[in-house]
């Protein structure tokens, strides 16, 4: 029987603290992919001298977990990741140092020490805003009313495993047209429940086009404003880090 190889070198230092980080993707950096951000983040962590914890094995990697990243091409004010560190640190100091080390447009907004409980369990829904150029508000409002009147609105998207058809309507918690400062523009606010597969803003737009023949002359500018616990009674999305700030992890 072949002997199992033992990794050379000392065992990695144990993690003593976990941090949860909220960051934004703005401007041109909305076109950065999740992999682009991961590379930029690991460089920034080294420049900021954050005492990262590493996995064991032949190919150690930083103990970082990413949660429900926004699609490439969309801006966001509510992206999250977690990192484990080998020394206790001041979260606000890490926020400042990491924000300075990342490029403009990848902006660190908040760092908190993680309380018990899984962050992923709190990310139940997302609040998006879609800014349509060249679409009149009344035109968009009619399209929204028609979509909301449907019991089901199926769309098909291609995944790595092939095309998959799923229902968009059941994931929509709220869909509202908001006032725009420009008469030739319309603003759509949509709250969606996180499902499998995840319903994205472009899926909602595809459903609108299919159900109502809405045809915007250009793609809308899409921004995620928030993601977190869903409150169906108010169709709102709460702060997923609130439990960490309270220190109860609930």
pLDDT exceeds cutoff 60 at 197: yes
Chosen domain end from 121, 144, 161:
121
Angle between helices 34-47 and 91-101 (to 10 degrees): 110
By residue range, what is the domain housing residue 38?
Answer: 17-121
Task: Compute CA distances 194 → 105, 125, 173, 212, whole Å.
Answer: 26, 5, 10, 24
The pLDDT, as a whole number, for residue 202 is 95
* Span between the terminal Cα atoms of the chain, in Å: 49
Exposed / middle / buried, residue 14 (Cβ in 10 Å: 0-12, 13-18, 19+): exposed
Instruction: Give the DSSP H or E segment for 92.
Output: helix 91-101
75 and 94 assigned to the same domain: yes
Residue 201 φ/ψ, nearest 5 degrees? -55, -35
Mean pLDDT across the chain = 91
Span 34-51, pLDDT tens digits: 999 999 999 999 999 999
Share of the chain above pLDDT 90, in %: 80
- The domain total for the chain is 2
Chosen domain end from 121, 148, 170:
121
93 and 148 assigned to the same domain: no
28 and 101 assigned to the same domain: yes
Is this model's pTM higher than 0.85 or not?
yes
């Amino acid at each position: 029987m072949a002997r199992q190889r033992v990794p050379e070198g000392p065992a990695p230092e144990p993690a003593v603290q976990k941090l949860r980080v909220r960051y934004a993707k703005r401007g041109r950096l909305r076109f950065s992919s999740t992999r682009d951000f991961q590379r930029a983040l690991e460089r920034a962590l080294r420049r900021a001298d954050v005492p990262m914890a590493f996995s064991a094995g032949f190919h150690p990697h930083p103990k970082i977990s990413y949660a429900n990243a926004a699609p490439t091409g969309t801006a966001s004010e509510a992206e999250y990741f977690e990192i484990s560190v080998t020394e206790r640190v001041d979260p606000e100091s890490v926020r400042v140092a990491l924000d300075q080390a990342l490029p403009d447009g990848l902006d660190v907004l908040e760092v908190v020490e993680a309380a018990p409980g899984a962050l992923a369990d709190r990310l139940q829904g997302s609040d998006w805003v879609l800014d349509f150029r060249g679409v009149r508000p009344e035109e968009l409002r009619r399209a929204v009313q028609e979509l909301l009147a449907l019991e089901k609105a199926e769309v098909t998207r291609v995944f790595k495993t092939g095309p998959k058809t799923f229902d968009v309507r059941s994931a929509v918690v709220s869909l509202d047209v908001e006032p725009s400062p420009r008469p030739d523009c319309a603003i759509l606010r949509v709250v969606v429940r996180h499902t499998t597969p995840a319903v994205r803003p472009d899926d909602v737009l595809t459903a609108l086009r299919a159900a109502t023949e809405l045809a915007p002359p250009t793609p809308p500018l899409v921004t995620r404003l928030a993601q977190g616990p869903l409150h169906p009674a108010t169709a709102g999305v709460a702060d997923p880090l609130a439990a960490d700030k309270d220190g109860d992890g609930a």
